[in-house]
A and B are shown apart, each in its own frame.
Chain A
Amino acid sequence: EAQVTQNPRYLITVTGKKLTVTCSQNMNHEYMSWYRQDPGLGLRQIYYSMNVEVTDKGDVPEGYKVSRKEKRNFPLILESPSPNQTSLYFCASAGGVRDIQYFGAGTRLSVL
């Protein structure tokens, strides 16, 4: 089954404690991206990747890091989380620039 898998689905952490949200897709997609969703703001782009070892900043990259060492994985790293990063996070992938995006189920992060 074609899918984008995010882990964990829920995470509660404290300020400053490094964390990683994993994202994996099994469709051999080249394009992967991360969004955050906040009430009243819709989905905003954090980072995206158009191929292995190629990543670019989206609209709200501050406080986040990503890596794309292999095609299937695109982890989101928060080196020093802060409460303003409490949000719902989505990973997505697409096979090409004209392909539709497939979304993961979302990760609800709370930073205390």
Chain B
Amino acid sequence: AQTVTQSQPEMSVQEAETVTLSCTYDTSESDYYLFWYKQPPSRQMILVIRQEAYKQQNATENRFSVNFQKAAKSFSLKISDSQLGDAAMYFCAYRRASGGSYIPTFGRGTSLIVHP
């Protein structure tokens, strides 16, 4: 079974600074997807960024970017120019690309605090 590990229960950053959230995963698959979701106090799950394992290029969405290291099975999220609205719980998730259960496996989450 796939596992997703977020080793940082909580992180903090100053407004306008950069922060990196860590995620590692375990799989024997070669084709899969990785995700970062944001959950603000409203509890809504919001997709931040998605990475396809067969793409070597790191995904980027505005101030959010990932560092995908396939061999190391690492998938960290970098938030640049942090804003107060970035404060939320962040979840890393893994999903296989074919066969079996398609639904993602989530990590336990990292709570991001943004200081003004």
Contact = CB atoms under 8 A, between A and B. Distances in A.
Given A92-B103, A103-B44, A40 B108 contact: yes
Given A41-B108, A97-B97, A97-B98, A90 B103 contact: no
A43 B89 CA distance: 12
A46 to B, nearest CB: 10
A42 B101 contact: no
A94 B102 contact: yes
B97 A106 contact: no
B50 A106 contact: no
A56 B101 contact: yes
A105 interface: yes
A88 B102 contact: no
A90 to B, nearest CB: 6
Contacts of B44: 103, 105-106
A61 interface: no
B101 A101 contact: no
A100 to B, nearest CB: 6
Given A40-B108, A41-B108, A42-B107, A97 B102 contact: yes
Contacts of B4: 42
Contacts of A101: 47, 103-104
A43 B104 CA distance: 9
Nearest to B9: A40
Closest A-B pairs by Cβ, 3 of them: A103-B45, A42-B108, A43-B106
Interface of A: 31, 33, 35, 40-45, 48, 50, 56, 58, 88, 90, 92, 94, 97-98, 100-101, 103, 105-106, 108
23 contacts: A31-B103, A40-B9, A40-B108, A42-B4, A42-B91, A42-B106, A42-B109, A43-B91, A43-B106, A44-B106, A45-B101, A56-B101, A88-B43, A90-B45, A92-B45, A94-B103, A97-B98, A98-B33, A98-B97, A101-B103, A105-B43, A106-B43, A106-B44
